[in-house]
Amino acid sequence: MHKKSGDHYDFLIAGAGFAGSLTALILQKSGFKVGLLEKGQHPRFTIGESSTPVADMILRELSSKYNLPWLYNFSRYGTWQQSHPEIVCGIKRGFSFFKHYPGEYFTTDGDHKNELLVAASSSDIESDTNWLRADFDAFLVSKVKESGIDYFDLTEIMTATRNGQWEL
Ligand SMILES: Cc1cc2nc3c(=O)[nH]c(=O)nc-3n(C[C@H](O)[C@H](O)[C@H](O)COP(=O)(O)OP(=O)(O)OC[C@H]3O[C@@H](n4cnc5c(N)ncnc54)[C@H](O)[C@@H]3O)c2cc1C
């Protein structure tokens, strides 16, 4: 096993899902020295994700606040398709929850108290998106590498000790 020593980081992030990669990019834009570890290797299988109107707003906000202009395009189906048709995503029309009880058929009443419909835009261009996470997460990691953040895949933290600062 490869063992690494001597590198110092303000932040060392474990896990290069989209949360880890975006956090690494944001921290680097904020002036910190960042390292990102991933125990697996991209592209990797993973389940989910579909965006919501609020999640899309947050992507746009992160894009402008942390000077990540390319991120903006992933907040709508139309701009995603124009900018990165090679990264697979689908149009999302909304989603529903239905509260079920074990052993019972689903029933509802006039108030629909046990149902939730989250509607989405009917416009393809403005639409929320279903992400193929394998592609999207691999793309984010390419942005991590492009930005000069130290990236280590097939890497796991084996020990963590604190002597004034963390040693991992
Ligand atoms: C069936 C399903 C459907 C979902 N649908 C939606 C949805 O529609 N909309 C939505 O917003 N959310 C959805 N979610 C939730 C969403 O998928 C998660 O919130 C999201 O994956 C979290 O991303 P992440 O980057 O934090 O974690 P992950 O994508 O899980 O990434 C974590 C990464 O860390 C790595 N790792 C783990 N441990 C270590 C370690 N010790 N050292 C190094 N690396 C490590 C893993 O290999 C992995 O690559 C769904 C989840 C599931 C299971």
Question: Ligand 1 centroid vs 17 CA: distance in angstroms?
Answer: 6
Atom of ligand 1 at shortest range from CA of 40? 47
Residues with CB under 6 A from ligand 1: 14-20, 37-40, 46-50, 55, 156-157
For ligand 1, atom 5: residue with the closest CA: 48
End-to-end CA, the chain: 15
Q: Is residue 47 part of a domain?
A: yes
pLDDT of residue 71: 98
Can you tell me whether residue 29 is helix, strand or coil?
helix
Q: Is residue 38 part of a domain?
A: yes
Q: What is the mean pLDDT of the chain?
A: 93
For ligand 1, atom 13: residue with the closest CA: 49
pLDDT tier for residue 30 given thresholds of 50, 70 and 90: very high
Residue 15 belongs to a domain with what CATH number?
3.50.50.60
pLDDT of residue 1: 38
- Give me the residue label for tokens 């896990």: 15
pLDDT of residue 119: 79
pLDDT of residue 93: 86
pLDDT tier for residue 20 given thresholds of 50, 70 and 90: very high
- Give me the residue label for tokens 């600062």: 165
Q: Which domain does 105 fall in, by range?
A: 11-167
Structural domains counted in the chain: 1
